[in-house]
Each structure stands twice: as structure tokens, then as C-alpha cells.
Structure 1
Amino acid sequence: MLIVRHARQSEIRLLAAIGLRAWEQAIAALADAAKMRRLAEQAFDTFLARHWHTVQLVEEGGRVRGWVAREDLDGTISDLWIEPEAQGRGFGSFLLAHIEKRIVADGFDTASARTHAQNASAIAFFQRSGYRVNWLSTAYSQKLDRDVQFIGLSKPLISDSIDAFPQNKFQEV
């Protein structure tokens, strides 16, 4: 059974390691991850030290498989990282469905996310989940230490679609 729960402050290093491994895979076509690893590791550590309380994670058999965050506790999903060897097994979809429910419960009617424009797997993941591309821009990426094209995606969240989430497949703690 999958469990979705709040992260604990003591899990910051674990979550940073998962995020870093997923980030390395996501930027493989964009940049030399080895050259930027230290900067990226520092960015994950800093983000999680400041925002661990906004993180929800998914566990399978007591093992953390990925995490999602809403840095500003609004309708924007700031991070969604799945352990590379666990990708394609539904963990991201479970987390996304969970965070969408939280977004609606917090009074927001739209969920949004962004990723670099060359992250084809993340864009496809969000599009399969009903998100649509609504902007493209260039911005400075702290993790990459350079300007990168980003793509913004959004999805209207209506109460009828929230009832369709696979609640019986994960347990909220």
C-alpha cells in the first residue's frame, strides 16, 4: 500500500538526495549535471531546510519514493520529484492527485507547475494528468546557474474531478 504523508524535518537529507537524483536525470539532455552537482545539492538542501513543512511524500513499504511541495502553500506545485528507479510506477500520479486535493481544500481552483522547456518527460507527465501549457519564458535557474527556458502548465480543478481521484489506492497520514 502507498502512504502519502507530511515530511518530517529529520528527512531533509533523504528528500534532498531523492530530488538530486531525479534532477540529475531530468537535466541530462540540458547540461552537465556533474559540473553543477554541488550547486544543485546546495539548492535542494536550502529549499528543504526552509520549506520541509510544505512537503508531502509517498512511501511504499516504509520506503520514500518521491515528494511534492507547494513552497508558498498556494495553487502552485513548486517541486515534484520521484526516485529515478521508481519512475513510471504511479508514484508521481498518486502525489499529484493528493496535492491537487490539498490545493482545492485550501480554496484554490487551479493548480500550476513549471519545468524547464526541455524536460519532455515532466511535460508529458503533467499533460497526461490534464495540465495544459500556458506560457514559455526564460529565467535564471539557481540550480543550473544560468538562464533556462521554462514552461508553465496549469489545470483547472473542479469539485467533480476531485471525487474521481484514486483515494482507495493510497492512505493519507
Structure 2
Amino acid sequence: MSEGFFLRTMMPEDADAVARIGYESWVEDRFHPEWFEPAVERRVHDAFRKFADDPQADVVVCQVTDEIAGWGARDSRDHPGDRSQPWNYISDLWTAPLWQGKGIGTAIIDELLSRMRAETIETATIEVVEANHKAHRLYLKRGFAEMWRGDTFSETLGLPIRRILLERPLG
């Protein structure tokens, strides 16, 4: 990673940046016409705000000098926020549009995988919207392999989404 970049666990004072980056990144990479509807935009904005204010997950931020440039989170896919379950699911990966393509997403993924290995987790999972080809390529480069493709309903969007589930062994 470049000089001046560092990764750390999210602190409460990062909440505004985390919410803003998540929402701005989502806006930048919207793939479906329905995602431009004001009601959908408001739900997504509110969901990022709620998450940032009370992240029931392990959240890593990437800081560049005095600003947050991106963040990622992990928890349990089937039991979000339940620490009695293995937190082997990368639930979020968001990079501020200005910082995309500079290695921040890779660094965050690697940090989350390192934390999983430290907990002796054997397999990591991540999902991506099928139309998000940039993210899909990144996950494949980081050693993830496709396990499933299908439609799921997004509570946040209020819409069905075509997703790809990927896994990576950590041994």
C-alpha cells in the first residue's frame, strides 16, 4: 500500500465518513434504473447512516492522512452481528470514488482476511451484485471463487437483486 495509507478499526468519530463513503460509492456505481428512484436513494442513505451509527460488525477503515478513503466490514452472513458465530462474511467494501483503483479495496480485503485467519476461520465469503464487474474482478483476483448466482431480495433497496456468492479458503 502507498505511503500515508493505513488501516485501523473504525471508531465512533468515523461514522459520518463511513456513512458518506458508503452512500457516495453506491451512487457512483448504480447499475439498475430502479436504483435512481428517490425512495430507493433515501432507503440506501438511511441504511448507511444507521449502519455507521451502530455497526454490529468488525469495520476496518483505510485512512489517508486525515481522511477516510474507504472501509470494509465483516460479520456472520447467516447471523449478522452475532459474535457467537464465525465472522467469515465480508458484508461491505466501499471506497470513496476519488480513491477507487488505488489499492484501497485490496488492502481492506486483505486486512479482513487476516483478521479471519487470526480467529482460525477456514473459509471467507463475499457477495457482489452481478452487474458490478469491477468488484467481481477484484474478488476473483484476491482468490475468491464463485459458488452461486441467483436473485435475492434486498430489504434496503426494496427490490430483487442478481448476486454472486464467492468463497475463499483461508488455510
How would you bin the TM-score normalised by the shorter chain? 0.7 to 0.9
Give TM-score, length-normalised by structure 2. Answer: 0.85
Q: 1:127 aligns with which of 117, 133, 140?
A: 140
Which amino acid letter does the alignment assign opposite residue 9 of structure 2? Answer: H
Contact 1:18 1:82 in 2 (8 A): yes
Q: 1:114 aligns with which of 119, 127, 130?
A: 127
C-alpha offsets along residues 113-154 of structure 1, whole Å, 9 cap, x if unaligned? 002111111111101111111111211112321111111011
Which amino acid letter does the alignment assign opposite residue 123 of structure 1? Answer: H
Match of 1:68 in 2: 72
1:125 partner SS: helix
Paired residues, number = 158
Which amino acid letter does the alignment assign opposite residue 83 of structure 1? Answer: A
Structure 2 residue 153 is matched with structure 1 residue 140: yes
C-alpha separation in 1, matches of 2:23 and 2:94: 9
Contact 2:59 2:72 in 1 (8 A): yes
28 and 87 in structure 1: CA distance in 2 versus 1, 3 angstrom threshold? same
8 and 155 in structure 1: CA distance in 2 versus 1, 3 angstrom threshold? same
Give TM-score, length-normalised by structure 1. Answer: 0.84
Identity %: 24
Match of 1:12 in 2: 15
C-alpha separation in 1, matches of 2:125 and 2:57: 20
1:113 partner SS: strand
Contact 1:7 1:53 in 2 (8 A): no
How far did 1:47 drift? 2.0
1:93 partner SS: helix
29 and 125 in structure 1: CA distance in 2 versus 1, 3 angstrom threshold? farther
C-alpha separation in 2, matches of 1:67 and 1:33: 23
- Greater relative CO (CA pairs within 8 A, separation 6+): 1
- Report the more deviating stretch, 13-22 or 41-50: 41-50
C-alpha offsets along residues 29-77 of structure 1, whole Å, 9 cap, x if unaligned? 5643352211101111122223166211011112111001013361110
Which amino acid letter does the alignment assign opposite residue 13 of structure 1? Answer: D
Match of 2:43 in 1: 39
Which amino acid letter does the alignment assign opposite residue 8 of structure 2? Answer: R
Match of 1:102 in 2: 115
Q: 2:62 aligns with which of 49, 53, 58?
A: 58
Q: Which runs of 5+ in 2 are unaligned?
A: 77-82
